[in-house]
Copies of this chain bind each other. A is one copy, B any other.
Amino acid sequence: MTTKEKRTDPIRIGIAGYGNLGKGVETAIASVADMKLSAVFTRRDPAAIRLKTPNVPVLPLDRAASWKNDIDVLILCAGSAVDLPEMTPALAEYFNVVDSYDHHARIDDHFNNVNAAAEKSGTLALVSAGWDPGLFSLIRLYNGAIFPNGNDYTFWGKGVSQGHSDAIRRVPGVADARQYTVPVESALERVRNGDNPQLSTREKHVRHCYVAAEDGADRGRIEREIKTMPGYFADYDTTVHFVTIETLRRDHPGLPHGGTVFRTGTTGTDAPNPYLIEYHVKMASNPEFTGAVLVAYARAVYRKARRGETGCRTVLDIAPAELSPLPGDTLRRALI
């Protein structure tokens, strides 16, 4: 499985959607030598968008299809709630695509829709890359496939949940908000100690909300509406901190995140021997970290598409070496 490709032209990447994640992908492309950004597609007014990369066109998304011969892999940087379920199958008609679809419960449906579109068009797609789903999925797969006797634990944070921040912003009287998901340290410790605890939703994470209220808004009502919001906050111990909008923007400017995947259990039969696996990530910029994952998987998609593969894949289907720009012998010498 050594990569014998000698093509030196950079892999031509397109970005569809230029929000935080699209910018993170752009940054990741600028960090690697074997790729170049060829075009950005947007549903906003292209004239209003200024890229960090010089001399790259910004075009209306509905003109993307005409670029099908000029882009090797298109990375879709849009939301999972409404956009990607439509966009990924639609754009897989024209392009090899990578997305970060993250509705865990619906990933297999999304996979099947994208697979049908890609098989029909002879393109290759990879869905649900990122860190969770993505890197954490890989770790969960390795852990469970290799160590059948054990328990999985996934914790998120400390970090900003954009979905929960948005949910707070929809409460009447809220001017802006930032929500931090924080793992409960004592729960992490119980897992690390090999206690194999049963943990409820409330026992695993707490939620801290920094909220700037509009002038004259009823803070008591806002706090109650946040804390009782079903699906987002009702099942958690939630703390609401009211701050001025200036403080919010000064003290909470970034999008840091992180998380931890554990597996704990035993090997052995007569004398069970405990083991612990802990995978932890921490990032100052969630969009840049996620963008780096998408770009590495775009490299794998490019290679596999050149070998004639079609249909849909996930990170579980990609051999690790496909992600690296380095040849197999270099990888064996440097990394094994």
A residues sitting closer than 8 Å to B (CB atoms) are 1, 24, 27-28, 30-32, 52, 104, 107-108, 111, 128, 133, 135, 137-138, 140-142, 144-149, 254, 267-270, 273-285, 288-289, 291-293, 295-296, 313-321, 323-326, 328-329, 331-333, 335-336
How far apart sit A325 and B142, CA to CA, in the bound complex (Å)? Answer: 12
A160 to chain B, nearest CB (A): 13
Report yes or no: B141 in contact with A335, Cβ–Cβ below 8 A.
yes
Report yes or no: B31 in contact with A269, Cβ–Cβ below 8 A.
yes
Report yes or no: A280 in contact with B277, Cβ–Cβ below 8 A.
yes
Report yes or no: B323 in contact with A146, Cβ–Cβ below 8 A.
yes
How far apart sit A276 and B283, CA to CA, in the bound complex (Å)? Answer: 6
Report yes or no: B268 in contact with A323, Cβ–Cβ below 8 A.
no
Report yes or no: B292 in contact with A284, Cβ–Cβ below 8 A.
no
Report yes or no: A336 in contact with B128, Cβ–Cβ below 8 A.
yes
A282: B residues at CB distance < 8 A: 275-276
A107: B residues at CB distance < 8 A: 332-333, 336
Question: What residue in chain B is nearest A312 (Cβ atoms)?
Answer: B1
How far apart sit A335 and B261, CA to CA, in the bound complex (Å)? Answer: 12
How far apart sit A31 and B315, CA to CA, in the bound complex (Å)? Answer: 26
Pick from B138, B268, B276: contact of A320, CB below 8 A: B138
Report yes or no: A144 in contact with B324, Cβ–Cβ below 8 A.
yes
Report yes or no: B281 in contact with A276, Cβ–Cβ below 8 A.
yes
How far apart sit A87 and B319, CA to CA, in the bound complex (Å)? Answer: 27
Known pairs A144-B324, A145-B323, A277-B281; list 6 more (Cβ under 8 Å).
A107-B336, A135-B146, A137-B335, A145-B324, A275-B289, A277-B280
A133: B residues at CB distance < 8 A: 336
Report yes or no: B336 in contact with A269, Cβ–Cβ below 8 A.
no
A27 to chain B, nearest CB (A): 6
Report yes or no: A275 in contact with B267, Cβ–Cβ below 8 A.
no
Given contacts A108-B333, A336-B128, contact A284 B280 (CB under 8 A): no
A138: B residues at CB distance < 8 A: 142, 320
Report yes or no: A278 in contact with B280, Cβ–Cβ below 8 A.
yes
Query: What are 8 A-B residue pairs whose CB atoms fall within 8 Å in the complex?
Result: A141-B324, A145-B296, A267-B288, A273-B285, A277-B279, A279-B280, A316-B319, A316-B321
How far apart sit A295 and B147, CA to CA, in the bound complex (Å)? Answer: 10
Report yes or no: B267 in contact with A283, Cβ–Cβ below 8 A.
yes
How far apart sit A268 and B279, CA to CA, in the bound complex (Å)? Answer: 23
Question: What residue in chain B is nearest A282 (Cβ atoms)?
Answer: B276
Given contacts A27-B268, A314-B332, contact A292 B147 (CB under 8 A): yes
| Interface hub of A146, A148, A278, A326 (most chain B Cβ within 10 A) | A146
Report yes or no: A140 in contact with B317, Cβ–Cβ below 8 A.
no
Given contacts A314-B332, A320-B142, contact A273 B284 (CB under 8 A): yes
